[in-house]
Structure 1
C-alpha cells in the first residue's frame, strides 16, 4: 500500500491573482483542504490549500507560494497527494483506489484474470479495468467482486459470462 493517496488535481487557473481550480477526489470535496500540506506526486513541491469558493468544474483555492495566474496555470494537471495517515480510515467494505491498483485478480475457480490496472467512476459506480490475457471491465459491486483481500494482495471476481 502506498504511503500517500492522490486526493485531487489542479484543473487550471481561476482569476488573475493566482487562484486555482481544484478537482477534489475526496468523497466530501471540501475535505481536501484538511489533509495537511499536499504534495506533488514526486514530492518535490508542497502546498497549503485554502478553499475560496465553488467554481464551475471544481473548487476555487489558493495554494501557498502561488500568487500569479501564470504560476497557477503552470500547475494545470498536477495531482495533489496527502499522506495516508492524514486520511480517515475506511469501513471494511470501502477501499482507496490506490490500494486496489496492482492487485492480482482471480475468478472464483482460482484462474488468474490479470491485475487491476485502473479504476473509473463515471457516476454510476466504480469500474475496475483488469489487464491480463484480455482486458476486462468489471463493475466494482459485491456481486461481481465478492472478495478484496488487501493483505494477500488479491481480488476474487465473478465476472458475468461473456456469452450473455
Structure 2
C-alpha cells in the first residue's frame, strides 16, 4: 500500500483554476506524471505551489479537503509533464497522490498576448454568429492537430447536442471575455 506524503491542509484560493491531475508515479525517486488540461501547461510550470484536492469520482485518496503541495521541479518529458514535490521522496509517496486534482492561483498564470486565451477562460462562453444567432456554449476545447476546436453544447428539439467550430481566425471574429461571448462566421446548419 502506498505511503502518503505529509501534506499541509490549505485554503483553496478564490482565484484557483483546476489545471490538471496527477496520473501516476514516475520513476522511483518521488517524481509523478501529470495530465495537464491544456496543451501548453505554463501555469503548472509557473507556480511553485500547487493546491490538491482528491479525485472527484471514485478512487482512493489519502487526504481530504484541500492540501498544499510545494513543487521542487516541473518539466516536460517526452509528451508528458512530470513533477517532483517537497515531501514526496519515493515512488510510494508519489503513488499515494494518484488521481489528485491540481489547482493553481490564477495570478500565477503567465500573461497572454493579444489574441491568446487560456482555455479555461473560454469554457462557458456563449457563441453567436455574425447574424446574432446563438450557436451554443463552449463546453470544452479539443486539440485536433494543427488547430484547436471549440466544442459547443446546445439543445435542439429538447435534446442535448454538440457542435464543433475550428478556433481559427478564419471562423472566429471576436472573443469578448468581459462580455462572455465569442462571435463566429458560422451557420447553425454547418
Unaligned runs of 5+ in 1: none
Compare 92-101 and 118-127 and name the one that shifted more.
Answer: 118-127
Structure 1 CA distance for aligned equivalents of residues 168 and 119 of structure 2: 14
Aligned to 1:76: 98
Unaligned residue ranges in structure 2 (runs of 5+): 1-13, 55-64, 156-160
Q: Is the 8 A contact 1:49 1:61 kept in 2?
A: yes
Residue-by-residue CA offset, 1:62-87 (whole Å, 9 max, x unaligned): 11232332331232333322211112
Matched, 1:124 2:146: yes
Equivalent in the alignment of 2:179: 152
How far apart are residue 4 of structure 1 and its match?
2.6
Residue in structure 2 matched with residue 39 of structure 1 by the alignment: 51
Give the SS at the match of 1:146.
Answer: strand
For the 8 Å contact 2:173–2:184, the answer to whether it is kept is: yes
Verify the 8 A CA contact 1:8 1:80 in the aligned structure 2: yes
TM-score of the superposed pair, with normalisation by structure 2: 0.71
Q: 1:22 aligns with which of 24, 30, 34?
A: 34
TM-score, normalised to structure 1, is 0.81
Match in the other structure for 1:137: 164
Whether the 8 Å CA contact 2:42–2:110 is kept in 1: the answer is no
Conserved 8 A contact 1:26-1:32: no
